Amino acid sequence: MEIGIEDEMVDMSTSPPSNGSMKIARSNDFGHNNKEFMSKETYLRNRYSEIDIEVDDSIFNQNHPLPIFLKFEDVEYKVRNSQSISNNPVKAMVSKVATQHTVEEDRYKRILKGITGSIGPGEILALMGPSGSGKTTLLRVIGGRLLDNVKGKITYNDVKYTPSVKRRIGFVTQEDVLFPQLTVEETLVFSAFLRLPTNMNKQQKYAKVETTVKELGLERCRHTKIGGGFLKGISGGERKRTSIGYEILVDPSLLLLDEPTSGLDSTSANKLLVTLQGLAKAGRTIITTIHQPSSRIFHMFDKLLLISEGYPIYYGAARETMEYFSSLRFSPEIAMNPAEFLLDMATGEVNDISVPTDIFEDQESTHDPSEAVIKYLQLKYKTLLEPKEKENHRGVNTPEHLQVAIQVKKEWTLSWLDQFVILSKRTYRARCKDYFDKLRLVQALGVALLLGLLWWKSSTNTEAQLRDQVGLAFYICIFWTSSCIFGAVYVFPFEKYYLIKERKADMYRLSVYYVCSTLCDMVAHVFYPTFFMIIVYFMAGFKRTVACFFLTLFVVLLIAITSQGAGELFGAAVMSIKRAGMAASLVLMLFLLTGGYYVQHIPKFMQWLKYLSFMYYGFRLLLKVQYSGDELYDCESKGGCRPLQSSPTFDTVNLKGGLKEVWVMVAMAICFRLLAYFCLRRRIDV
């Protein structure tokens, strides 16, 4: 399964007026009282779930997100078991009989096994459990990232998941998917301009970014690049806070975070949780997965859902976990971090923990003590906690105005052209270092000088000299075809995760992204060939006329732009760095062999290949621009002067015309890009 990449929330400024405003009174170990939203009746009132809702006669505060009350009941998720698929039918049948599995069990593996819970605005729910227990899967199911093979009931203000709900959900993945070349401030500014509503002017959007930067404590690193890989940048904690800021800019009602403290030291992790507490106070509903938090962080959570092997063994108030397990006669024999104790419970490892003696008597058929503990805890959850939570779900309904507000359909905040202007600026800013890389400049300059010196003031006086100059023309085609194909083939595979994340957040139309990408990349694919040809053309002794120079430059640029489109097509078709490079190499080899230089007389049954090669048309067009069929050459030979068209070099090329090749290459450049766009749309299926 691919790591899910992010959703977005939309400002509540377009929501309809309500009949009441909501205040949420919440208390935790630190005595926080939050009364910033409103409600009417007790939402959950028992020792494990406490949210009080009161209603005022006023409209929603425009500065706060729409409150979301999340309920999930009997959530199950399964994935296809690839190990069950065997090419050997006899082996598959024997395996099925030996394991005595049903067909359904054999085909699918259950990841989540009936999870129930709820959470309201102003609260933080922690999902805990050992690795592989299903925490991230549950988070993705709640966030709408996984929709297939999901059973159970999930509602947001008593409304099922819809595209309008999607835009009110923020998702922060464990991996921080941010453009490394942009600074912290640039990342947030571009996000704000793409995602905030049009009724906010530029000053208000900048003010929103400024507020977010201060709220998350990013003032010191605001002008530092994000970095990553071999590029130095901000620290891990700052990068995580930037990822959170990226999502909260649009005031998400439901914020989901996957292992936000992973890789952070205890101080940075604590600061991050304090930040999340502040976000929750503003009326957001926050759910986070966490592996093994410190004691201080553990007591910052309002609710806790403990998962073991996809099955819940505790759900309720975080501060009452130890009391609950003590009531089941599980207690640590030594001083122990509550989170460490809970993970031991979830894995069934009861070293230094006192356990009830009747567990192993009730589980006579189980030889593994860990499995006996887990089954006992699952049974207790099923009988003690789950019925109460389900009763709370049925007993309380979300106010009607909140149900209506969350279903308000959100259109694009910006027009196509506005998105294009903003995204093109960001694309250029993120890639400009690659466009004007010193190595690329040295490569173009070095190859140009080398070719100019090798073909210094070449001529067409003899057949051998003519063949040499034609060889130079073909090498120019090869060089810029390969450079532009490999310069474009890796773009989409490299940006795959950024694109998936932002498309899931509905930041922009895919067509806008593609047009911005291809046009910005065209800067380099035009600049370097032009720089290259200015040097080579005059050193190599090509025709020194203004018209011939610019026509030759036009042909080389046409080859470069068509090659760029082909590279984008290969990259979008496979979306894999390794496979994209391999596909580009194979196709490039095919283009070289059928380009019309190495093999001029191709067998009839293979001739169709050359018509697929844009290098074939580009090379022919370059020859037609540079040479005239009526031009005389080889005048010092015994036979006297001959027209160029009679040369064996041009046996298969008619040096007259050229418009046909131009239109074919233009059509290829357009078709490659259209196919690349449709491949990209198919691969980025959100």
**pLDDT category, 680, cuts 50, 70, 90?**
very high
pLDDT higher than 80, residue 685: no
pLDDT of residue 362: 56
pLDDT value at 47 more than 80:
no
Q: How far apart are CA 55 and CA 53, in angstroms?
A: 7
SS3 (DSSP) at 71: strand
Q: Are 251 and 11 in contact (CB under 8 A)?
A: yes
Q: Is the pLDDT of residue 41 over 50?
A: no
- Judge if pTM exceeds 0.85: no
Span of 31-35, 74-78, 410-414, 545-549 with lowest mean pLDDT: 31-35
How does pLDDT run across 201-233, given as a tens digit for each residue?
A: 899 999 999 988 988 888 899 999 998 877 888
The answer on pLDDT for 91 being more than 90 is no
Specify the amino acid at residue 306: L
Where residue 532 falls among pLDDT bands split at 50, 70, 90?
very high
Q: How far is CA 103 from CA 96, 148, 378, 397, in A?
A: 8, 19, 26, 39
111, 287 contact by CB (below 8 A): no
Q: Is the pLDDT of residue 94 over 70?
A: no
Residue 461 sits at φ, ψ, to 5 deg, of -70, -35
Give tens-digit pLDDT for 340-368: 889 988 888 878 888 887 776 655 555 67
Q: Band of the pLDDT at 89, cuts 50, 70, 90? A: low
Closest CA to 105 of 117, 116, 96, 93: 96
Instruction: For residue 329, give both structure tokens.
Output: 């006669």
pLDDT-derived band at 92 (thresholds 50, 70, 90) equals low
Q: Mind listing the pLDDT tens digit for each residue in 156-196?
A: 988 888 888 888 888 888 888 899 999 999 999 999 998 88
pLDDT (0 to 100) of residue 334: 85
**Predicted pLDDT of residue 123:** 92
pLDDT digits (tens, 9 = 90+) for 374-400: 888 989 899 898 888 888 888 778 888
Residue 32 · residue 102 · CB < 8 Å: no
Average pLDDT score over residue span 448-457:
91
Tens of pLDDT, residue by residue over 252-307, are: 889 999 988 887 788 888 888 888 888 888 888 999 999 888 888 998 999 999 99
**Among 526, 586, 593, 523, which Cα is nearest to 556's?**
526
Q: Are 366 and 375 in contact (CB under 8 A)?
A: yes
The pLDDT value recorded for residue 104 is: 52
| Average pLDDT of the residues in 631-647 | 71
| Exposed e or buried b per residue across 165-184, where buried means at least 16 C-beta atoms within 10 angstroms of its C-beta | bbbbbbbbbbebbbbbbbbb
pLDDT at 543 over 90: no
Q: What pLDDT, on the 0 to 100 scale, is given for residue 335? A: 83
Residue-wise over 147-160: b if at least 16 C-beta within 10 A, else e? eeebeeebbbbbbe
The alpha carbon of residue 407 and the mean position of all alpha carbons in its chain are separated, in whole angstroms, by 26
- pLDDT given at position 646: 72
Domain boundaries, the chain: 416-683
27, pLDDT greater than 70 = no
Looking at the predicted structure, is the pLDDT value of residue 114 above 60? yes
pLDDT at 128: 92
First-residue to last-residue Cα distance in the chain: 14
CA 430 centroid distance within chain: 16
